Structure 1
Amino acid sequence: MNKDDQIMPSKKRGIICGLVISGWILLGAIIITVNCLPLYWVLVRHYHWGQSLGLNDQAAFREYLRVWQFLNFPIRTTIGGHLALSAPAQAHFKEVKYLVWGVYIGFIGITALIKPVWRWSHDAYSLWLARLVLRGVAGISICLASLAIVDFNDFFVIFHQLLFRNQDWLFDPRRDQIINLLPSYYFAICFGLFFALFIGGILLGSWVLFTQRQRE
């Protein structure tokens, strides 16, 4: 086998390894963000988002918990609670629930692949290429995070337009009171947390690959 024959499989292994690690970190960052209940508790106590609905901080947090439980528990078919929610808004939350569970299933599947892919691509060239993929992903993520910082409203709209094919995500505060507990500022902080976790995880993964390659 000549040198080129050896390099080509290593290229494929390195790229696949980098993509698998990136996907695992991506889904993990989403899961942590979705389930970061203390974040909402701190924010609702600071900004008192429930006041416009006649709710104290504890009651507002309970309404938020109903949304979280609906997204996380398959047996929950409705959000319930005391706040008005139109049919389109309920349909949107169901779509979000499908996405959340898609993330959970994808994370479990990729987690099962991590160890065999790592063993499969455990040579110096593959590790170098996997690290290169992670660095590229980090660069793209930093650019997206910068766009979100510059104009979060447009970023948020584009994000929804890419994920959803309808306009159900456009809530009317008069019919969808729950939106008063989920202001755009809250989502901006959630995106900030996600990008911090994802970019930090990618950089950490790149460092791990670098140290591992040094041993090869």
Structure 2
Amino acid sequence: MNVLTRLATAGFIFSIPVFLVTANVRFAAGDAWFYEQGFRRYDADQATGVSFPDLDRAAEDLIRYFEDDRSSLRTQVTIDGQETALFSEEETSHMRDVKGLMRAVFRLNEVSLAIILAYIGGAVLWTRERTPRQLAAYSLAGVGAGLAAIGAIGAFAVTGFDSAWTRFHEIAFSNDLWLLDPDTDHLIQMFPEPFWQDMTYLVGGLTVVEALAVVSLSVSYLVFGRARDGAPETARARSGAGD
């Protein structure tokens, strides 16, 4: 196994958990229904003074903002009969930072998928330097690494989500704009900490289910593929013995 092949295999293994996690983060961040349910579960209308229809439209605008080229999020809503900006300048600046983070997650999702497809297409289907059995084994390795990391993070989050959430912000952002006031800032009123805890569980749960699906397919191929691949060898051995 040459150096390039080793690097390609390592890239494939690493890309599996990265793809699964980033794909689910992207799904959750773009799911308007999840936002709407969170608004109703945590009474965002009462906390913000904004009606649910306006909050729902704000969620859709936020989802578009993550994907489009706008530099600032300028969402208008009606409060006490007056049309006004939903977010303050500080909140808008923080959302600019969040958009940068989300765009990085989206690109990481796309790059990891490209690596996975390129490895399968190049090493398995084109050059045949790797067999489908090896691909299944490497997939198990990638899932194992991902589940170990997710399990460690999940255990930390369950035992102390507050501190984990704070630590995440300290690492992800280079400023303190994320320190919002729940009494005045609509952003944190719309998305209180329990909302993010729910999203964390959603992303983690989806990732585990998908990882188990990969494990099931890989193990099934390793078990039943072995029996199928061994059949010709057994037949040839018997034929040789008869001769």
What TM-score do you get using the length of structure 2 for normalisation?
A: 0.75
Q: Distance in 2 between matches of 1:168 and 1:59?
A: 24
Query: Offset of 1:140 from its aligned partner?
Result: 1.9
Q: How many residues align?
A: 211
- In the alignment, what sits opposite 1:204? 213
* 1:27-60 superposed Cα distances (whole Å, 9 cap, x missing partner): 1111111012111212323432111332232222
Q: Provide the residue aligned with 1:18 in structure 2.
A: 13
Tell me the alpha carbon deviations over residues 64-117 of structure 1, each in whole angstroms, 9 at most, x when there is no partner: 333333223224633322355343322221111112222222323332332221
The CA distance in 1 between the partners of 2:208 and 2:186, in whole Å, is 34
Which residue of 2 is the match for residue 159 of structure 1? 168
Distance 2:215 2:4 in 1: 21
Aligned with 2:50 (options 43, 55, 66) = 55
**Deviation, structure 1 residue 180:** 0.8
Residue in structure 2 matched with residue 108 of structure 1 by the alignment: 110
Q: Does 1:137 align with 2:146?
A: yes
Structure 1 counterpart of 2:89: 87
The aligned amino acid for 2:31 is C
Compare 82-91 and 9-18 and name the one that shifted more: 9-18
Query: Given residue 104 of structure 1, which amino acid in structure 2 is its aligned partner?
Result: F
SS of residue paired to 1:173: coil
Query: Which residue does the alignment assign to 1:73?
Result: 68
Q: Distance in 2 between matches of 1:154 and 1:174?
A: 21
CA RMSD in angstroms, aligned pairs only: 2.6
Distance 2:162 2:138 in 1: 36
State the shift of 1:138 in Å: 0.4
Contact 1:85 1:178 in 2 (8 A): yes
Q: In percent, how many aligned pairs have the same letter?
A: 15
Question: Do 2:24 and 2:206's aligned partners in 1 also have CA atoms closer than 8 Å?
Answer: yes
Distance 1:134 1:96, change over 3 A: same
Q: 1:116 to 1:84 in 2, by over 3 A?
A: closer
- Which of 7, 31, 34 pairs up with 2:26? 31
Moved over 6 A (4+): 7-10
Gaps in structure 2 of 5+ consecutive residues: 77-83, 125-129, 227-243
Residue 125 of structure 1, CA deviation: 4.1
Provide closer, same or farther for how the CA distance between residues 114 and 89 of structure 1 changes in structure 2, counting only shifts above 3 A.
Answer: same
TM-score (norm 1): 0.83
- Report the 3-state secondary structure (helix = DSSP H, G, I; strand = E; otherwise coil) of the residue aligned with 1:55: coil
Q: Corresponding residue for 2:101?
A: 99
Q: Which has the higher contact order (CA 8 A, sep 6+)?
A: 1
Q: Return the letter of the residue paired with 1:180.
A: Q
- Judge which range, 190-199 or 79-88, deviates more: 79-88
Structure 2 match to 1:194: 203
Deviation at 1:12, TM superposition (A): 4.8
- CA distances 1:163-205 after superposition (whole Å, capped 9, x unpaired): 1111111112355223211111111111111111222222222
Query: Who wins on radius of gyration, i.e. which is larger?
Result: 2
What is the rounded CA distance, in whole Å, between the counterparts of 1:14 and 1:112 in structure 2?
Answer: 14
Query: Following TM superposition, by how much is the alpha carbon of 1:13 offset from its aligned partner in structure 2, in angstroms?
Result: 4.9
Structure 1: unaligned runs, 5 residues or longer: 1-5
Residue among 182, 186, 204 paired with 1:173: 182
